[in-house]
Each structure stands twice: as C-alpha cells, then as structure tokens.
Chains A and B, each alone.
Chain A
Amino acid sequence: AQKVTQAQTEISVVEKEDVTLDCVYETRDTTYYLFWYKQPPSGELVFLIRRNSFDEQNEISGRYSWNFQKSTSSFNFTITASQVVDSAVYFCALSEPNTGNQFYFGTGTSLTVIP
C-alpha cells in the first residue's frame, strides 16, 4: 500500500498564480518525519522542508508555505506567486525512524509554470 499519496500527477499554472500541492500520508508510528523535495529537470533532489510528527506549526519560507494537519494526515505545500523556475517535479516523503528510517516517496507532482 502506498504510504504517501500525491493525487495530483500534473499541474499547470500561469506565472504569478498560487498553487497548492497535496500530500496525504499513512503511518501507524507516532514518531515520523515528513519531507518535501523538488526535482528539477537536471535530476537532483533538492531538499525543501522537514517536519516531525510532534510539530504541527505551519511554516513559511519566502514564497513557500507548508500546512501540516495530523487530523487529516496531510502535509500540503503552497507556492505563492509562482515563477517559471518553480517548474519541476515535487515529491512528498515520509520516514519512520523507529522502523528503518527509509523514505517512502509519493509518486510526485509535476508542476509546470507557464510564463
């Protein structure tokens, strides 16, 4: 069973629009970590954020913001005023430190920002 679900396979927005990427996770562990990574066409995985299961504070970093809600097992990512450079595949991931700490990635959301 997929532990991380990213229901949006592809999203296209016009530059300067806001866009939210959805991520729903599944775990029985009480201690876990959630991550977002950006993968541009060059292929590397660029770390964006890490959130532990005990910290439900939302976070804002420039044009990026994250909404973590344990009640709905969601960790959504919003880009405000999108730019062409935001075009990439975005992966949400879950790790469970008490059971091996391997990453479970979602299937990714391909974001295209149209100028």
Chain B
Amino acid sequence: AAGVIQSPRHLIKEKRETATLKCYPIPRHDTVYWYQQGPGQDPQFLISFYEKMQSDKGSIPDRFSAQQFSDYHSELNMSSLELGDSALYFCASSGGGYYGYTFGSGTRLTVV
C-alpha cells in the first residue's frame, strides 16, 4: 500500500540558508500535518492543511511557511535557518473518514 512520501530524507544546510521539504500524502487523503521533532524531544505540531487550505496552526516560526497544492502534496519552506532548526520533520496525512494518521519516514534536517 502507498505510504506518505517525504523528500529529501536527509538535508544539510548552513545557517541563514533556506530549505524546502516536500510531502506526498497517501492517495485520496485530503489533510496534511507537519511536525518538528528536536533531538530528544517529542514531535511538536507545526501546521496542517485540509483541502489546500490551512486548517490549524501550532508552534510554527514566522520564518517557516507551508502550503498544500492542487495535487494535495505539501511543502514546508524554511528560511533564515538557525542551528535550532536541526530536527526531524515529519509529515502525516489523513482522510477518507479515518481519524488516524499515517506518518512519513521524516526528513532529517541538519543546520551547520
């Protein structure tokens, strides 16, 4: 069965650079969620989209933005990267009346 696809799996950026993370949800899932997991921490909710509209917002920094496109994939754009942005970034999708999530394998971002 198709899963949530995240790309890239690993990303190394320098301070003040920008990064774009991509998420391809399970087919027919209309909702996408982004989470950030710092080292030794639990995942923290950043933002979610339903039917291409932002549906909920968590602790997402102003330097970050995200959107969901017409094909339901989503991108998380991160600018002016800081060392503290180094984390695992998870995308999850849900839909079709199922209230659970399916998580992607995550993107490990390292800012140096």
Contacts and interface: CB of A to CB of B under 8 A. Distances in A.
Interface of A: 33, 35, 37, 43-45, 47, 50, 52, 91, 95, 97, 100-108
Given A35-B100, A43-B88, A43-B108, A102 B45 contact: yes
A43 B43 contact: no
A44 B106 contact: yes
Contact of B101 (A44, A91, A103): A103
Q: How large is the interface on B (under 10, 10 to 19, 20 to 34, 35 or more residues)?
A: 20 to 34
Contacts of B35: 103
Contacts, number: 54
B48 A100 contact: yes
B42 A107 contact: yes
Please give me the 7 A-B residue pairs with the lowest Cβ-Cβ distance, nearest first. A105-B42, A100-B56, A102-B45, A45-B103, A44-B105, A97-B99, A50-B100
B100 A102 contact: no
Given A52-B99, A100-B55, A101-B56, 16 more contacts: A33-B100, A35-B100, A43-B105, A43-B106, A44-B105, A45-B103, A47-B100, A95-B100, A97-B99, A101-B48, A102-B48, A102-B58, A103-B35, A104-B45, A105-B44, A107-B41
A107 B99 CA distance: 22
Contacts of A95: 99-101
